[in-house]
Amino acid sequence: MSEIASGVSPDGRRLRGERTHQEILASAVELGSREGLEALTIGRLAAHAGVSKSGLFAHFGSKQELQLATIEAARAIFRAEVIEPGLAAPEGPARLRATLAAWLDYFRRDVFPGGCFFQAASLEFDGRPGPVRDRVVEVMEQWLEWLTELARRAGLAEGEDPAQLAFELNAIGLATNWQRQLLGDSATLVRSEKAFERALANARSAHGRGNPLNVKEADR
Amino acid sequence: MSEIASGVSPDGRRLRGERTHQEILASAVELGSREGLEALTIGRLAAHAGVSKSGLFAHFGSKQELQLATIEAARAIFRAEVIEPGLAAPEGPARLRATLAAWLDYFRRDVFPGGCFFQAASLEFDGRPGPVRDRVVEVMEQWLEWLTELARRAGLAEGEDPAQLAFELNAIGLATNWQRQLLGDSATLVRSEKAFERALANARSAHGRGNPLNVKEADR
DNA sequence: AAAGTCTTAGCACGGTCGTGCTATAAGATG
DNA sequence: CATCTTATAGCACGACCGTGCTAAGACTTT
C-alpha cells in the first residue's frame, strides 16, 4: 500500500493538509522576501494564500513557528538554486566558480521576488534576540563555512586564507543583491562578475598584500 | 536681538519644542537602527523618549514624516562620522584611504547601536514603494557617487573604472556591517581592512583582469 | 452509506497600531 | 502680572495584530 494510497505524505501528514501547508509556505517565502519576515502578518499571509486566518494558524502553532518554517523553506530553495548547481561541477576551482555563477544567476532570475531572502532576514533580525535570529545566524554561518570550504579546495596561493577569500566573495554577493534591489542597476551583475574574478585571481596568485589603513586591531 | 534671546532656534522653531524634537530624533535613530524603521512605532518611541504618544505625534504630522526626519538625522551623523574625517585628508589616494578608515572606525565604534542605519533601511524598504524608499535610494546613490568620485581621484591605473572600484569597496563595507552585526565576528574588521587594501592595490596597478564566469550579460 | 478523523472557517478576546480632537501646562511678550 | 502663543498630555476612534475556542466541512476507512 503506497503512502499516496493511504493518504499519508512522506513526513506523516495527511494529503490535503500537507498541500495547503506547502502552498502557505510558498506564499510566505514570497511575501517574506518582499516585505520582511516581521511584516509577514498572519492576516495578510492568509489573504495572500487564500485561506482563513485561523485555518492558516492551525498549521503553525505561533507566528514564530511560521517564521521558522518559512526560513527552512527558503533555505531549501537556496540550496537547490545555488549549492546544488555548484556541486554539479568537479571539486576544485571549477566548483567554486560554478557556485558563484549559480549565485549570480540566482540574483539575475529573481528567485526570491524581493531579493535574497536571507540577506533581508539577516539585517532584520540581527538586533532581535530569539530563535528566529538564532536560526538565521546558523544558516548564514553554514553558508560562509561552505564558501570557505570551496575556497580552501580552489588552489589558493601559499599563505592565503580561504576565510579571507570567502569574506570577499560573500561581500560581492551581498552588494550585488543590495544594489540590484535598491538601485535596480542593470550594470551590477557585470561588475559583480568582474569583482568575483578579481578576488579569485588575487587569492590564487598572491600579489595583493598592501600596507594597512590606520585602524586599530582591537575589536570592541 | 539674538535668536537665542528671542526664543527662536535657527530654523524658526521655538526653544523648548526644538529641544524635544532633537531628543526624539536621537531616540528614533537609535531605535530605528536597532529594530528597523518600520518597527519604530509611535507608542514605543514615545515611551523610549519619555514623552506621550500624542505629544510626540505633534512634532511630525505622520509616521512617514517621522521616518523621513529620522533618515535625515542619521544622514547627518554618517556625514559627520565618515565623510568629514575623509575630507580632512588631502585629495587623492590619501582621501580615499582616510574615508575607508573612517568608515571602518564608524563600524568599530558602533556609531549606530544596531549597525549601519542605512544598510538596514535599504533592505527594509527596497520592496516598499513610497517617499521613504525614494529618499533612502537618493542617499545611497549619493554615497556611491561619492565613493566613485574619491576613486576617480585616487590615481587608478589606465582603463580602470572608478565605479567598479567603488562597487567593490562598498561591498566590503556592507559585508563588514553584516558580519559584525549578525555573527559578531571580531576578526571581521581585520579582514575588511585587508580586503580594502587589496581592492585598492588591484585598481591602482591593473593586473586583475581575469576571464569571466559563464553568466549571461543581459540583465532582466 | 456510516463512522470517524483530519482540515478549515467563524467568531471573540485583549492589545497595539496610526491618527485625530480637546484641554492644560509651559514659556514668551507686553 | 496679564495675555497670548506654543508645546504637551488625555482620551477616543477604527483597524489590525496574534491567538484561542468551537463548529462545520472534506476526506478516509469501514
Report H helices in chain B: 15-35, 42-49, 53-57, 63-78, 84-87, 93-108, 117-125, 131-152, 162-183, 188-205
Query: Where does the pLDDT of residue A14 fall: very low under 50, low under 70, confident under 90, or very high at 90 and above?
Result: low
Dist CA B67 CA A34 (whole Å): 20
Read off the pLDDT of each residue in A120-129 and give the average, rounded to a whole number: 97
DSSP B213: P
Read off the pLDDT of each residue in A33-43 and give the average, rounded to a whole number: 96
Nearest CB to A201 within list B197, B210, B215:
B210
**pLDDT for residue B206 is more than 90:** no
Rg (alpha carbons) of chain A, rounded to whole number: 20
In percent, how much of chain B has pLDDT > 90?
Answer: 82
Dist CA B115 CA B108 (whole Å): 10
**Is B208's CB within 8 Å of A215's CB?**
no
Query: Where does the pLDDT of residue B185 fall: very low under 50, low under 70, confident under 90, or very high at 90 and above?
Result: confident
**pLDDT for residue A182 is more than 70:** yes
Give me the pLDDT at residue A16, please: 73
B142's grid cell: 549619493
CB-side exposure of A81: number of CA atoms within 13 Å?
Answer: 18
> pLDDT tens digit string along A209-220?
443 444 443 333
Read off the pLDDT of each residue in A30-59 and give the average, rounded to a whole number: 96
Rg (alpha carbons) of chain B, rounded to whole number: 20
Strand D atom within 7 Å of B94 CB: no
At position A133, the amino acid (one-letter code) is: R
Read off the pLDDT of each residue in A6-22 and give the average, rounded to a whole number: 61
Read off the pLDDT of each residue in B55-74 and give the average, rounded to a whole number: 97
Query: Where does the pLDDT of residue A118 fall: very low under 50, low under 70, confident under 90, or very high at 90 and above?
Result: very high
Strand C atom within 7 Å of A56 CB: yes
Question: How does the average pLDDT of chain B come out, rounded?
Answer: 89
- pTM value is 0.89
Give me the pLDDT at residue A23, please: 95
CB B170 within 8 A of CB A173: no
Strand D atom within 7 Å of A64 CB: yes
Q: Is A8 helix (H, G, I), strand (E, B) or coil?
A: strand
Is B204 touching A (CB cutoff 8 A)?
Answer: no
Distance from chain centroid for Cα A15: 29
**pLDDT for residue A56 is more than 50:** yes
In percent, how much of chain B has pLDDT > 70?
Answer: 86
Read off the pLDDT of each residue in B161-169 and give the average, rounded to a whole number: 98
Best of A44, A134, A198, A207 to disrupt the B interface by mutation (most B CBs within 10 Å)? A198
Best of A182, A189, A202 to disrupt the B interface by mutation (most B CBs within 10 Å)? A182
Shortest alpha-carbon distance between residue A109 and chain B (Å): 8
Read off the pLDDT of each residue in A68-86 and give the average, rounded to a whole number: 98
Range scoring the smallest mean pLDDT among A94-98, B3-7, B164-168 = B3-7
**pLDDT for residue B218 is more than 80:** no
Give me the pLDDT at residue B14, please: 60
Q: How far is the CA of A62 from the C1' of D20 (A)?
A: 11
Query: Where does the pLDDT of residue A4 fall: very low under 50, low under 70, confident under 90, or very high at 90 and above?
Result: very low
Residue corresponding to grid cell 585598481: B203
CB A190 within 8 A of CB B217: yes
Dist CA A203 CA A158 (whole Å): 9
Read off the pLDDT of each residue in A67-93 and give the average, rounded to a whole number: 98
**pLDDT for residue B9 is more than 50:** no
> pLDDT tens digit string along B102-151?
999 999 999 999 999 999 999 999 999 999 999 999 999 999 999 999 99
Question: How does the average pLDDT of chain A come out, rounded?
Answer: 89
